[in-house]
Structure 1
Amino acid sequence: ALQKAKILRNSLIGGATGLLLFLFLLWNRYRMKVRTNQELEAKNKIIEAEKARSEALLLNILPRQTAEELKATGKAAARKYDSVTVLFTDFVAFTQIAEQTQPEELVAELDECFRAFDDIISRFNIEKIKTIGDAYMCAGGLPEKNDTHPEDVVRAALEMRDFMTHFAEKQRANGRPEFKIRLGIHTGPVVAGVVGSKKFVYDIWGDAVNLAARMEQSGVPGKVNISRHTFELVRGKFRTEYRGKIEAKNKGPVEMYFIENQPVD
């Protein structure tokens, strides 16, 4: 009887030990699985964050529709727009200012102006196209078409002009050179798209772009100069001053108007 009891006790101890070992192995396996899942989840979060950052950077360069098309096919088809309002700005005598200013200070001041312009056009649903040196180019009515782009772009241009007025006051107070701005607007058909395979840039082409540039070049510092066609589209919404036919480079005499934000009588 004593021998049987001893065998039974050893069997129970062995069984309990085996069970504990089995439970330990299960727990250890569960712990490793949890840790692996946590590590995988952390890695997935990092991947998603990087993906979101890359997406944001891409959308900061290209319109969403164009970016999606590029990601899907590797290229984006050009699109024709029958009516787009193009705005050019340029700082008067910028080359002379640059020669008298430390590069770091000049870039900081230019950055302050262009960041303000970016904020303004964002509120008016206008697409920034590019900056070329001290020139700033944007357009309303694309990539999503709308009917309000002539008025939107004019209002944005007037806000840009007003910002530069305040900026000039601050520059004078700080003994810094003033930035005097010309702004030109024209409305017409353009083709928009991305060309090439390196450093993608969304751009627009057409005679409307050239004429908008001529509006800026033929303008006066502190004034928004618009073409006859843009004037017709915003007639009655702003106070305007007819300038007559002004000679524009490679265009001949072109009808132009100064436009202001005061209410029409």
Structure 2
Amino acid sequence: MSRLRTPWPRWAAQFGIFASIQFGVLTVLAMLLYAGGNNAEPTRPGYAFFANFFSDLGLTVAYSGRANTFSMILFATALTLAGLGLIIFFVAWPRWIANRLPAQLIAYLGSFFGIGAGLSYIGVAFTPANLLREAHINFVYAAFVSFFLGVLCYLVAILLTPGYRRGYAAVLGVFALLLAGYIWLLFNGPNTNTVQGLTIQVTGQKVIAYASITTLFIVALGANRMIVPATSPPAG
């Protein structure tokens, strides 16, 4: 725990908590301001929770044909901050892992993938699907695959770290299963050109998006609680 007696790990954990909360708040506001329509029903008013993707919030022009500026700005801000939250937390996370092999090596590998996921989320934010569709989709694929690999690494690293509560490993285990299921859905799920296929894909995305921010919130909150205050006397 001596490596956690500096402000940096606490700040990183607290930024992870902030990033998860702001994503939920700003995307709800973006939904309320969305200019309308979806892939199957372009004339449908407003944002339909089970018929519109999160990415629809980032369109410069909505399916309705109306400018979507305010929703786009909120969505891009939310996803950029969420991506930064992942990057910052994954940079700091190895400090909570046992300072010996193989735990540290696995943690650094996990951070490599986690940082990649964060960068990919920022990439999604700045590639509106109506303007840069191929790049947008590739960033989506990269984000979830990288996140999955990063979570698997930290699941193992936590299990190899004495004193790290196993409940956090359980949280990562459940999240890894959800990510695996969603990655399968992304590559093998139904086409979004039908109402049924669109509903399935959108619902899957909502589940994994909220699971992602919930997981970040839980592990960052737990990490913050594990930090030894700088004023505490050294053990022993």
Structure 2 length-normalised TM: 0.27
Instruction: With a CA cutoff of 8 Å and minimum separation of 6, indicate the structure with the bigger relative contact order.
Output: 2
Structure 1 length-normalised TM: 0.25
The structure number with the bigger radius of gyration is 1
